Amino acid sequence: MLSEIKKLCFGYSPCPNDTFIFYALAHQRIDTSPFDLEIQHHDIATLNQLAFEEKLDLTKVSFYTYGHIRKSYALLPVGAALGKGYGPLVLSQSSASQNPSNWKIGLPGRYTTAHLLAQLWNPQMKDPVFLPFHQIITELVEGRLDAGVVIHESRFTYEKYGLSLHTDLGHWW
């Protein structure tokens, strides 16, 4: 039996799914003894990188990242947010060319599932721009990107910015 408290570093993103799923843990509504959780909030690209560096004991990561870190981390059967027909969206300005292989595309991180799906959907994609997920809409609206692959709440709010849905990668996949 463990008699001393063991500190565990736990990372998850500030997206609404995660804040809902992990609320009880983060706010000590669940007895986690003999463990003391140190909570860290980061965007998914940062969490993926911290997992590659093995700096977190428990963490949310992209499914794409998990394939690379599976020898160091175990996949838990809870908390996943990947489902059939539900996934990243490719958004564009209406003025974007019709050829996605020429687009400058914003993505929420190199080892994200969004990037993996975008590569499969558009194998000729050139020079992706990796940004924190919450900056992609702004960069797209301000014309610095031709398209952006969005996740989280941006899936539901993009129309109010005058953006068009080009491809639902969850449905496409």
Q: Sketch out the chain's domains with CATH numbers.
A: 6-69 (3.40.190.10), 89-172 (3.40.190.10)
Distance (Å, whole) CA 126 – CA 123: 9
Element (H, E) at 57: none
User: What tens digit of pLDDT does each residue of 37-71 get?
Assistant: 999 999 999 999 999 999 999 999 998 999 999 99
Nearest to residue 134, comparing CAs of 18, 45, 20? 45
Residue 171's pLDDT band (cuts 50, 70, 90): confident
As a residue count, the chain comes to 173
C-alpha dist (Å) from residue 119 to 61, 124, 125, 148: 19, 8, 7, 13
pTM for the model stands at 0.83
Residues β-bridged to residue 12? 41
Nearest to residue 133, comparing CAs of 16, 25, 22, 40? 16
Distance (Å, whole) CA 19 – CA 60: 12
User: What tens digit of pLDDT does each residue of 69-115 get?
Assistant: 999 999 888 766 666 667 899 998 876 667 788 889 999 999 999 99
Query: What pLDDT does 147 receive?
Result: 94
User: What tens digit of pLDDT does each residue of 120-151 get?
Assistant: 999 999 889 999 988 999 999 999 999 999 98
Dihedral over Cα of 53, 56, 60, 66: its sign: positive
Distance (Å, whole) CA 48 – CA 130: 13
Q: Can you read off the two tokens belonging to residue 149?
A: 């692959």
Q: Which of 41, 152, 166, 171 is catalytic?
A: 152
Question: Could you confirm whether 152 is annotated as catalytic?
Answer: yes
Distance (Å, whole) CA 160 – CA 47: 29
Pairing relationship of beta strands 89-92 and 147-150 according to DSSP bridges: antiparallel
